[in-house]
Amino acid sequence: MIIGNKDFKDHTYIMGILNVTPDSFSDGGRYSDLDSALKHAEEMIQQGADVIDIGGESTRPGYTHICTDEEIQRVCPVIEMIKQNFDVPISIDTYHHDTAEAAIKSGADMINDIWGLRYDSGEMAATAARYGVPVCLTHNRKEPVYTDFLSDVVKDLSKSTDIAIKAGISRDKLMIDPGIGFAKSYEQNLMLTGSLEVLDKLKMPVLLGTSRKSMIGLALDLPSDQRIEGTIVTTVFAVQKGCLFVRVHDIKENKRAIIMTEKLMGKV
């Protein structure tokens, strides 16, 4: 899969999280000014991040919605600054098509949409198609009501894929994310993370995003700043199940876990 000027294949790569928000569940307010955001991006790149995912609106449970103008003001200067200083692909973490378009014009190479192109009436899909950028389609629902949980997740992601293709986005520009933490119970999050092979039938690259999430906190009874080990275990699962990306906060530790797992699997 090509993102920006980089070709990603046959390996598990790291998408580093850069939240330029005051209220994200794990790092809210830490990187909301340009200098700290740029410094953190540099640290993540040095530690092995392959893509930087920039978000301007928290998507934690109970998050506060902001207007797209504010979201754009938060993310675009950071994108521009990182692009001026580093050769790294940038993903924009948004479900608003106006923000996505502004971010792409500022240098973003990819859209990471937590609603899998299903938040609006097709505007996000049209934006991605118009600019020819890759899209990560995340599983989400307005109500966490399922008939057959794992099967329903696959069906929902298939619908997102259909929306993308009908809008003119080529299949080789699509990646799927099972959406751990979105419209799922603790037990469902555990089940899905442990059953990533159910996504194989969609025949698309997979991104797993579990970093510091409540599933890990509940399993280990730990606050968000003490969930590195739990996150690493899910990263090992991701490598074993053939995920193309993991989306994480703690780059160095997860990078080492990927290298070790792939060596044990004989992949490097």
Please state, in angstroms and rounded to a whole number, the distance separating the CA atoms of residues 47 and 166. 38
**Under a CB-based contact definition with an 8 Å cutoff, are residues 245 and 9 in contact?**
no
Is 213 annotated as catalytic? yes
- CA angle 241-246-251, nearest 5°? 130
Residue 37: per-residue pLDDT: 92
Residue 22: per-residue pLDDT: 73
List of residues 6+ apart from 170 with CB closer than 8 A = none
Please state, in angstroms and rounded to a whole number, the distance separating the CA atoms of residues 152 and 140. 11
173, 212, 227, 247: which one is catalytic? 247
- pLDDT < 70: residue spans in the chain: 23-32, 59-64
Q: How far is CA 126 from CA 97, 144, 228, 250, in A?
A: 9, 27, 37, 33
Q: How far is CA 79 from CA 10, 72, 86, 88, in A?
A: 28, 10, 10, 11
Amino acid at 76: C
What is the 3 state secondary structure string of 57-96?
Answer: CCCCCCCCCCCHHHHHHHHHHHHHHHHHHCCCCEEEECCC
Q: For 132, which DSSP code?
A: T
List of residues 6+ apart from 266 with CB closer than 8 A = none
Q: In this predicted model, what pLDDT tens digit does every residue of 69-102 receive, in sequence order?
A: 999 999 999 999 999 999 999 999 999 999 999 9
Residue 61: per-residue pLDDT: 58
Residue 31: per-residue pLDDT: 56
Residue 26: per-residue pLDDT: 47
Please state, in angstroms and rounded to a whole number, the distance separating the CA atoms of residues 131 and 234. 33
213, 227, 241, 255: which one is catalytic? 213
What are the structure tokens assigned to 250, written together?
A: 């703690």
What are the structure tokens assigned to 166, written together?
A: 């009908």
Q: What's the whole-model pTM score?
A: 0.92
Q: Which CATH number fits domain 2-264: 3.60.21.10, 3.20.20.20, 3.40.50.300, 3.20.20.70?
A: 3.20.20.20
